[in-house]
Amino acid sequence: MIKKVLIANRGEIAVRIVRACAEMGIRSVAIYTEPDRYALHLKRADESYSLGADPLAGYLDPLRLVNLALETGCDAIHPGYGFLSENAEFARLCEEAGVIFIGPKSTVIHSMGDKTQARDSMRAAGVPITPGSDGNLKDIDEALTLAEEIGYPVMIKATSGGGGRGIRRCDSATELRQQYPRVISEATKAFGSADVFMEKCIVNPRHIEVQILADSQGDVIHLYERDCSIQRRNQKLIEIAPSPSLTPEQREYIGGLAVRAAEAVGYENAGTVEFLLTGNEVYFMEMNTRVQVEHTITEQITGVDIVREQLRIASGLPLSYRQEDISYRGFALQFRINAEDPKNDFLPSFGRISHYYAPGGPGVRVDTAIYTGYDIPPYFDSMCMKLICWALTWEEVIARGRRALDDMRLRGVKTTGTYYQQILNHPDFQRGEFDTSFVPSHPELLNYSEKALPKEIALALAAAIAAHAGL
């Protein structure tokens, strides 16, 4: 069994991993750069080590992290999500150094990170993929010819892309000529590779993903699906488990496809297989070879501790569950509470949190690393907390989500919390009738006003009275 884990991450996911380690009697080692010197994950871990003043360099240096793991006596590294979590070179360095990488093998990360290889693997396994290029595009002329064959709109994607970056939709040959060099430029800067490929654009699909677990004995199970259709510019905002729109037959079919996909590539540990659903047609989109931000809602409906299973699998132990042991109960929502101003084109809103009160009560979970007085640094992702709500029925989880968002107090920065309340109040969302076009199709939901707190109203009145007295 793993004895000591270096957590190659920060923020709420680092806190989440520390908690799982503590419950399993595993020592945890946190890392940080100067902007994170007062971060919560340092206070919760058993040990912590500085990576220097540069905000990002330390978190993105695989060789340094592997050496630090060896120096501190760690026998494993958990990459979390983001940063180096899907970096095949990082996993390879761990393997060569004899440090357990808590995730799949480096060869699997590489093959699934290369989107064209992933498409080839899925095609061979009988998993449906969207029409598109058989490999990387050679030039704009090939792209134009293929687009005419499969029909517009099409998507140009970075072969090594992820996180919603390196993707452009093209509705015509003119747009394709404009966007093609832009995707290549973005892919080169973000991923170090100019390779791009093309897929038919599935217009307004539902974005459905399936959580899988696989052990070193070759057993693979799925933990049902999540609906991630509520998104903006390919960035997820609200996630739902299970999807309120799937039939039992669709659920069984998509879960089976995810297991087949994992088996086809010899997958090991936790992962997510993402699909696009339009009508009864299902298409493979990509595989995320790490724990997902939204793993929390799968835990809520199944009762399975996914991070605990990651640690067990990495220790060489078999899965704690068989497929027939897995069932789900109720519905769960996850709200990504981002430090952004929705009314100002979602501009990041970094700074000091002057007041923070976490919502609670039945069926409410908060995963975060913030606290009153914490300074949200401008160098990282804008997500400052995840609010998770569970209830037995779809109607009840919406009501609980509204109540929990109303309970939450996070002042000093702008957040997306009030905007999410507008989404929950929309009749289409309440009926479960939405797809990836929901957010861009409803700009009117941004026409809200922030509700002032009683304390804030009192302070404003006091200031007004004082000003009047001074006159």
Catalytic residues: 290
The span from the CA of 61 to the CA of 450, in Å, is: 41
Identify the three-state secondary structure at position 27. strand
Which of 395, 420, 404 lies closest to 361 in space, CA to CA?
404
DSSP state of 279: T
Please name every residue paired with 222 in a beta bridge, in sequence order, or none if there are none.
212
CB 2 within 8 Å of CB 100? yes
Residue 452 has what DSSP assignment?
P
Q: What angle do CA 158, 163, 166 make, to 5 degrees?
A: 25
Task: Judge contact between 275 and 285, C-beta under 8 A.
Answer: yes
Residues counted in the chain: 471
Query: Which residues make Cβ contacts (< 8 Å) with residue 377, sequence separation at least 6?
Result: 35, 36, 55, 350
CB neighbours of 471 closer than 8 A, spacing ≥ 6? none
Q: How far is 195 from 160, CA to CA, in rounded Å? A: 8
Distance CA 425, CA 436 (A): 18
Q: Which two tokens stand for residue 456?
A: 């804030």
CB of 79 closer than 8 Å to CB of 85: yes
Q: How far is CA 17 from CA 98, 331, 382, 410, 458, in A?
A: 21, 24, 20, 24, 41
CA 288 to chain centre: 9
Q: What is the largest CA-CA distance in the chain?
A: 80
CB-CB contact of 28 with 40 (8 Å):
no
357 by DSSP, 3-state: which?
A: strand
Considering only CA atoms, which of 13, 11, 46 is closest in space to residue 32?
11
Rounded Cα distance, 220 and 269, in Å = 9
- Tokens at 37, concatenated: 């010197």
At position 169, the amino acid (one-letter code) is R
Instruction: Report the chain's terminal Cα–Cα distance, integer Å.
Output: 73
